[in-house]
Structure 1
């Protein structure tokens, strides 16, 4: 007579071991094993007259009677747990399974039903009175936790309508972050500062939600600028459009655009918008767009100054020569003094290119240094996989320095993406400067060696297959020979 009880507790212990040790590892296989154990446990109880729908036998032995009732109650609880797990594993969609709300709510309802059934069938308590009493208690409890219940029902609505999923990057009620968890009470967001923000479901259900992860291959990048009202809007918009064309990460469809957002007494607000195909590119594209807007506005003659300050045109003597300002923006000439820049400025010659014009071809040895004054140029290189765009040049960027400094042929093809204005400086005009400034010559070679090393990493053919320091020395020797330098 004791064997069924012992075997019953052995089966319960086996189920606990399978649950806690996660054996087998596969979730579906583990659920099937537990269902088989539960089936064997059920067959044992019913074959031993331990029916979960009535009181346990052994009324003449109180310890055995209590043990039998415990097994019957365990049967109800095990069934409730396995039922909730089976529905969660086999029936619920994968996206719902990642969210704990349905699992928690459904599990609570099933366990509540199992507890009521166990009290009614096994312990033979008056269920009607218990239900009536629990109903009154539920009303009192509901009034006490109505805000929490509001979160629960709002969570059901959110999980049903699915405005976002775990892993999406969203903005809820002004809080932007990545969705880490969705449960019966709140949504957990990981912000860009690394903080966890908990947004109650009731707030999320009423708030305006922006899901940046939908559609997954289209993410907007917007830059807002306030420009002095003295600047002509057509000039500003053209400069912003060139800045948008200079960002390589921007996709062509939908097309980027610039517009006048609003006007005030002290400024005109402009907005430049583009789109990228990957959320991870958004931050870098935004920063690059800000920099390009600054450069293209400066190249268009739009002065960025504190707003609200009356415009005062500079006196003629104080105006800086445009060519000197262009040379000052070139990284190669960063070490030159104002006097040295003033000597180079008159030697610059102006050249215009239409969209699609070829500025520089591979294997050509340029005999001049070209500096972009306005417009956007595309730099394309050849590698093992074919043609790849490695850079886009904007105002202040230089090209042809390899041929000018060391007589090295170009390794890239450069063409105009927009109408462009380029100023050129001939090799013979640079030679006196290099002879008088050895440090400037070495700095130029250092910068050029880094660019050549970047091209080498992209797979383009290199002039010398060694380290960056060897490329620098190779370029320096070529400069000495080309310009007849003695240092």
Structure 2
């Protein structure tokens, strides 16, 4: 019992209990905080009970061992207090949904607390004037600061960027000097970007903090695009703007909300310039969407008999030219057939035969051309307008595709007797050219081997459609199987390899 009254024994016992508690108890912030508070309060009571004020440089001890013990105990007291405050910071200083910023602020405050504790130990344990120490180290800090000015600027800029968070890893940013790329890493000194050429771009944080930047992924993942289109002034601007509205309606990539817009930005005798503005679901779709829009502009303009503007146009078209252009028939069925991959193997004469047999059909806006599950008896080529394929599933409609001039549908019913995967609806007034079974049968009877080519093309298209619908575990039918079905439906002789 005599040993228990000795402050050295009490101190050693407290330190041992703290060590056991930190190693045995679960690593939870609340538990750690409670242990640190209990240790600090008990140690404070032990020191004060023995006449030792931890916040005073005076030590009343007769022998060397007790003087050393009190110095060590006061040091532990200051560090224990710092640990208690840091535990409190870790427990209560939290930024919801911003864990990285919260961790940074916690580390910064913890560092300040520990520096203060060390200075207090220097002042109250070793009796060294802190003011003199700071003044002496100040000159050295100034010299070191000048030597590390650039690095310190990067570090403090990194701190500001981490707190402000104008971007994060994975975002695409563009700087005012034209440098752009996707953020792949941020640290205290620099930010690493991966540009469009997949090259690494390292930008010092100090330069980044001073630069004006555009975050292409903020405030959300959608991304706006504007395209400039110039058309020859052969129609009234309003009619051309309506054509470009149809182009936007035909796209499979742009978002429907907010609605895309078409605006006239310039009008001259050489060209009418339009600006198309639309939104994408992600910046990664930019290239695909631009290519699609340019392709659709060309196809719809060609189908409507409108030419793209030429910078070499010097004379404005006359009223007679305008009238002639407005009355000019759209793309013929012969030109449409030439663009179809189904008939790439046909000769010019065979294409001409199909083109002469093609029947022109018109459909009003919102008209249903084919029903879901219907077996089409003709191959339908889109001459003008926009067609939408909609599948009814689980009580709702799922859009599968949008078709424009040069596209076709109904081939599965005509060629293999399969049902349509969805309802075919006219989004705008639509003109089609239809090739019936009898006309196609005449070509196939003259060239039975054409069934293999059509089967291969149709197999590729069916596989592509299933991928677009997100059906990953289904495979399109084999081309040879489709070729055999085509022969059976058209009563063609089977080849030796079939």
Tell me if TM exceeds 0.5.
yes
The 1:167–1:310 alpha-carbon spacing in structure 2 relative to 1, beyond 3 Å, is closer
Pair 1:434 & 2:444 matched: yes
1:339–1:456 CA distance, 2 compared to 1 (3 A):
same
Q: 1:486 aligns with which of 459, 484, 493?
A: 493
The yes-or-no answer on 1:393 pairing with 2:396 is no
The correspondence for 1:423, drawn from 401, 425, 433, is 433
Taking a change above 3 Å as real, the CA distance of residues 291 and 75 of structure 1, as seen in their structure-2 partners, is farther
Shift in alpha-carbon separation, 1:384–1:412, aligned structure 2, 3 A: same
Which secondary structure does the structure 1 equivalent of 2:206 belong to? helix
Q: C-alpha separation between the residues in 1 aligned to 2:275 and 2:21?
A: 63
1:214 and 2:210 are equivalent in the alignment = no
* Residues paired across the two proteins, number: 464
CA displacement, residues 242-278 of structure 1 (integer Å, 9 cap, x when unaligned): 3321233433332112345679999987543322445
Of the structure 1 ranges 112-121 and 167-176, higher mean CA displacement relative to structure 2 is found in: 167-176
Alpha carbons of 1:384 and 1:258: their partners in 2 closer, same or farther (altered >3 Å)?
A: same
| Cα offset, 1:178, TM superposition | 5.1
In structure 1, distance between residues paired with 2:116 and 2:269: 68
1:110-150 Cα shifts (integer Å, max 9, x gaps): 23222222211121111121233344444444444444454
Map 1:425-464 → 2, pairs under 5 A: 425-449=435-459
Instruction: State whether residues 233 and 269 of structure 2, in contact with CA within 8 Å, keep that contact through their aligned partners in structure 1.
Output: no
| Contact 2:33/2:88 (<8 A) preserved | no
Q: What is residue 272 of structure 1 aligned with on the other side?
A: 276
1:258 aligned residue: 262
Q: Is the 8 A contact 1:15 1:37 kept in 2?
A: no
Q: Distance in 2 between matches of 1:193 and 1:207?
A: 22
Q: Is the 8 A contact 1:449 1:472 kept in 2?
A: no
Question: Aligned to 2:333, what secondary structure does the other structure show?
Answer: helix
Distance 1:126 1:178, change over 3 A: same
Q: 1:160 to 1:409 in 2, by over 3 A?
A: closer
Residue 89 of structure 2 corresponds to 87
CA positional deviation for 1:393: 0.9
- CA-CA distance at 1:292 after TM superposition: 3.4
The answer to whether structure 1 residue 247 and structure 2 residue 251 are counterparts is: yes
Structure-2 separation of matches of 1:255 and 1:287: 20
Alpha carbons of structure 1 residues 457 and 110: separation in structure 2 relative to 1, 3 Å = same
Give how far 1:326 is off: 1.5
Q: 2:207 aligns with which of 191, 203, 210?
A: 203
Alpha-carbon distance in 2 for matches of 1:70, 1:101: 31
Which residue matches 2:322?
A: none
Q: Which moved more, 1:265-274 or 1:131-140?
A: 265-274
Query: Greater CA deviation, 5-14 or 241-250?
Result: 5-14
Q: Which runs of 5+ in 2 are unaligned?
A: 1-5, 315-330
For structure 1, the residue ranges without an aligned partner over 5 or more in a row are 312-320, 461-465
Query: In 1, Cα distance between the equivalents of 2:234 and 2:62?
Result: 98
Q: Is the 8 A contact 1:445 1:472 kept in 2?
A: yes
1: CA distance between counterparts of 2:122 and 2:158? Answer: 31
Aligned pairs (5 A) from 1:134-149: 134-149=137-152
Contact 2:368 2:424 in 1 (8 A): yes
Counterpart CA distance in 1 for 2:90 and 2:169 is 17
Determine the structure 1 residue equivalent to 2:319. none
Match of 2:108 among 89, 105, 108: 105
Asked if structure 1 preserves the Cα contact closer than 8 Å seen for 2:246 and 2:386, the reply is yes
Q: Which residue of 1 aligns with 2:12?
A: 6
Q: Which has the larger radius of gyration?
A: 2
Q: Does 1:76 align with 2:86?
A: no
Query: Is the contact made by 1:376 and 1:392 (CA closer than 8 Å) also made in structure 2?
Result: yes
CA distance in 2, matches of 1:86, 1:194: 45
What is the CA–CA distance in structure 1 between the aligned matches of 2:127 and 2:356, rounded to whole Å? 105
Q: Select 2:360's aligned residue among 337, 350, 354.
A: 350
Match of 2:134 in 1: 131
- Cα deviation, residue 424, structure 1: 1.6
Partners in 1 of 2:478 and 2:489 — Cα distance? 18
Tell me if the contact between 2:183 and 2:194 (Cα under 8 Å) persists in the aligned partners: yes
Q: Is the 8 A contact 1:226 1:267 kept in 2?
A: no
Contact 1:190–1:196 (8 Å) recurs in 2:
yes
2:371 equivalent to 1:371: no
Provide the rounded CA distance (Å) in 1 between the counterparts of 2:278 and 2:125. 68
Provide the rounded CA distance (Å) in 1 between the counterparts of 2:231 and 2:465: 40
CA distance in 1, matches of 2:489, 2:302: 35
